[in-house]
Amino acid sequence: MMLKSFFVYGAVLALSATQVAAHAAINPVLGLSGTAVRSDVKRPSDNAPCGNGVNIASAIGKSTAVKADASGSFTVDVQNFNGGKDGSRQVTMKVNAAGDGKTFVDGKVTTNGDLAPASTGTQKVTASLPNGIKCSGGASGDLCVASFKTAGGFGNCVVVQQAGNGGAGNGAAAKGAAGKGNGAAAGGKNRVRAFRA
């Protein structure tokens, strides 16, 4: 009887070790400097969209942001630390416009990763901010937080900088101020507004 208990315990321990080793991260990870390692991987959930223990408000300003283009499209690197579905590089994404982690809406993944890769590695995944969203987080006022979750249940958040929004300046206003764009520089009143924008 004791031998049977030992084997059952061993099997449970082996399965637990497999689950602990089943990881994938999406780089650049919110709050990290550099590339993620296995111990940085989180399990995003409805209650903790960036994973347990992540303080989004304090981490957003310290994070490397991925830059979205004018259409809202951006690319991240999904890195898996083991093969199979538990190390899946296939993701879903939700976006928080305010950068505070409170309200997330579905985003769109346009080029996804492998569902069950045979080995470890890194794969580029392209996603898009939801239509009409205005990122307003961070000191620059143009950051969103994107929560990625793999088919294996792992993931994390990534900071996304929206093009032409917030502190980086508005492209049309900059062109108008220079007298090259939309004609806003032609009228004195509009020109002053362009400099203030």
Model pTM? Answer: 0.74
- CA 30 to CA 26: how far, in whole Å? 9
Identify the pLDDT of residue 106.
98
Identify the pLDDT of residue 165.
61
Angle of helix 188-196 versus helix 171-178 axis, rounded to 10: 130
Q: What is the pLDDT along the chain (197 residues), one digit of tens a residue?
A: 555 554 444 444 443 333 445 599 999 999 998 999 999 999 999 999 999 999 999 999 999 999 999 999 999 999 999 999 999 999 999 999 999 999 999 999 999 999 999 999 999 999 999 999 999 999 999 999 999 999 999 999 999 999 986 443 333 333 333 333 333 333 333 322 222 32
Identify the pLDDT of residue 190.
31
Of the options 2.70.50, 1.20.1440, 2.60.120, 4.10.280, the CATH number for the domain spanning 24-162: 2.70.50
Contacts of residue 131, Cβ cutoff 8 Å, sequence gap at least 6: 72
Q: Which of 105, 171, 170, 160 is nearest to 136 (CA)?
A: 160
Distance set, CA 107 to CA 2, 17, 118 (Å): 52, 33, 27
Distance of CA 59 to the CA centre of its chain: 13
